[in-house]
Amino acid sequence: MKRVIFVVHSSEIVRCGLTLILRKYFNIEITQLSSVNELSSYTHTSNSIIILFVEAQPLVQEKLFLKLKNNNDVYFIGIDGDTEQEQNFVADYRIDFLVSGLKIQSIVSEILNTSNHQTVELAESSDLTTREKDVLKLVALGHSSKEIADQLFISIHTVISHRKNLTEKLGIKSISGLTVYAILNKLIDTDSINPEDLI
């Protein structure tokens, strides 16, 4: 399925800032809109996972959202400000202006990994080879390409190729993003990680 993110907010600073954070972690199409009404141009979208970061306000365009939900998996992430209107805003997740980039990444990763059309367990996925999973585990544990090559008895060039494939297949560009993905898919046990080894 195609994966799409919409950042809908009246503030350009919020839209641009959130987009920069998302692009740091994900290789996914991101569209910025200043109002919910602009989503009407995208109701033809189908067979997609749509993540909507929306300014928390009463959703007056319910028909518009229903059209999007007809042929897609749609997830709402409410961006909370300081208004009383937020109480009537229903969202799958909520963030505020103090949220960290890592928390945003964690929410989006969770959505992508638990969507009805995504495989929850990485081990069941035919998209990644056994060797790519091995490389992913070691990347998530903070090993360099040379260390991974030594441990798996392969060349550094091969490790780099596997890392490139992981980035393309998962749509995750950063090491921290791959780490979150590995943890969410239980490839690594966080209880067995010594934080000092990751420094």
- Confidence (pLDDT) at 183: 81
In this structure, the strands spanning 73-79 and 2-8 are unpaired
What pTM was computed for the model? 0.58
Query: 91 and 25 share a domain?
Result: yes
For residue 25, the enclosing domain spans 2-114
127 by DSSP, 3-state: which?
coil
Provide mean pLDDT across the span 118-144.
73
- Confidence (pLDDT) at 112: 84
Interior/surface letters 52-82, b for 16+ CB within 10 angstroms, e for the rest: bbbbbbebeeeebbebbeeebbbbbbbbbbe
Query: 174 and 100 share a domain?
Result: no
When pLDDT is cut at 50, 70 and 90, the band that residue 18 belongs to is very high
Counted domains in the chain: 2
- Confidence (pLDDT) at 59: 57
Query: 99 and 141 share a domain?
Result: no
- Asked if 53 contacts 6 with a C-beta cutoff of 8 angstroms, the reply is yes
When pLDDT is cut at 50, 70 and 90, the band that residue 193 belongs to is low
